[in-house]
Chain A
Amino acid sequence: EPEVTQTPSHQVTQMGQEVILRCVPISNHLYFYWYRQILGQKVEFLVSFYNNEISEKSEIFDDQFSVERPDGSNFTLKIRSTKLEDSAMYFCASVSGGVYEQYFGPGTRLTVT
C-alpha cells in the first residue's frame, strides 16, 4: 500500500538556522498539508497546498514558513530562522481529490536548541 514518507525522521538545529523538512506524498494525490504537534499537545494545522499554491494557512504559518513543491514528487516545509518554540513533530499529509481521508506521514521531530 502506498504511503506518505518524510525525511529526516529527526532534525536537530540551532536557533536562527534554516531547516527544510521533506515529504513525498502518495503519487496520485492532489492536496497536501503540513501539521504540527508540540510534545503532549494536539495536532495543529499549518498549511494546505493545491495546484501549486497555498490554499489555506493558519495563524502559526507566518512569514518564517514557506512551502514548495519543487518537482512532481516532493513537498517541502521551510522554516527560515528557527525559534525554540518551533520544536515539535511535523506531519505531512496528502489526499486524493474528492475524499475525506488524509494520509499522514510518519513525521519529522524538529528540535531547536
Chain B
Amino acid sequence: GENVEQHPSTLSVQEGDSAVIKCTYSDSASNYFPWYKQELGKRPQLIIDIRSNVGEKKDQRIAVTLNKTAKHFSLHITETQPEDSAVYFCAALLNRDDKIIFGKGTRLHILP
C-alpha cells in the first residue's frame, strides 16, 4: 500500500531562518499532497496542499514543492516565528474522498 516517509523527525532552527521538511511517497498514482500542522492536543490543521499537476505552490511564508518523477515533496517555511513551533505532517492521497496516508511527523522548534 501507499507509504509516506518524512524527515527529519526533529528540526531546530533559529527564529527568522528557514525550515525545510522533506517527504517521499511510494505510490506514483498519488494525486494530492497536503501538509498539516498539529499543536499539542489539537487536531491536524491543513496549512497548504499541492496537486499532482502543479510543481510549486506558495502562501505567504509557506511554500510546497513537488517532484512527481522522484516522488518527493517538500515544505519550506521562511522567516520562521515562535508560533511556527509545532509538529508538521506531510500526507498523500490517491484520489478525492480517499484515505489520508500521513508521514511520521517533524517536530519543529523555533529557537529564540
A interface residues (Cβ-Cβ under 8 A, vs B): 30-31, 33, 35, 41-45, 48, 50, 56, 58, 91, 93, 95, 97-102, 104-107, 109
For the complex, give the distance between the alpha carbons of A106 and B32 in Å: 23
**Cβ B42 vs Cβ A106 within 8 A:** yes
B interface residues (Cβ-Cβ under 8 A, vs A): 32, 34, 41-46, 49, 51, 89, 93, 96-105
Q: How far is the CB of A88 from chain B (nearest CB, A)?
A: 13
One of A44, A58, A101, A109 near B49 (C-beta < 8 A): A101
For the complex, give the distance between the alpha carbons of A45 and B100 in Å: 7
Tell whether A41 pairs with B104 under 8 Å between CB atoms, given A31-B97, A56-B99, A104-B43: yes
Tell whether A33 pairs with B104 under 8 Å between CB atoms, given A43-B44, A43-B89: no
Q: Which residues of A contact B34 (CB under 8 A)?
A: 100-101
**Cβ A35 vs Cβ B96 within 8 A:** no
**Cβ A106 vs Cβ B102 within 8 A:** no
Main secondary structure of the interface of B (DSSP, over half): loop
A-B contact pairs, 27 of them (CB 8 A): A33-B99, A33-B100, A41-B104, A41-B105, A42-B89, A42-B103, A42-B104, A42-B105, A43-B44, A43-B89, A43-B100, A44-B102, A45-B99, A45-B101, A48-B97, A48-B98, A91-B43, A91-B44, A93-B100, A95-B96, A98-B97, A100-B32, A100-B34, A100-B96, A101-B46, A104-B43, A104-B44
For the complex, give the distance between the alpha carbons of A44 and B44 in Å: 12
A33's closest neighbor in chain B, by CB? B99
Q: Which residues of A contact B45 (CB under 8 A)?
A: 104
Q: Which residues of A contact B51 (CB under 8 A)?
A: 100
Q: Which residues of B contact A35 (CB under 8 A)?
A: 100
For the complex, give the distance between the alpha carbons of A43 and B34 in Å: 13
Interface centre among A30, A56, A100, A105 (most CB of B within 10 A): A100
For the complex, give the distance between the alpha carbons of A100 and B93 in Å: 8
B6's closest neighbor in chain A, by CB? A42
Q: Which residues of A contact B46 (CB under 8 A)?
A: 101
- 8 closest residue pairs by CB, A with B: A45-B99, A104-B43, A100-B32, A43-B102, A42-B104, A31-B97, A42-B102, A106-B43
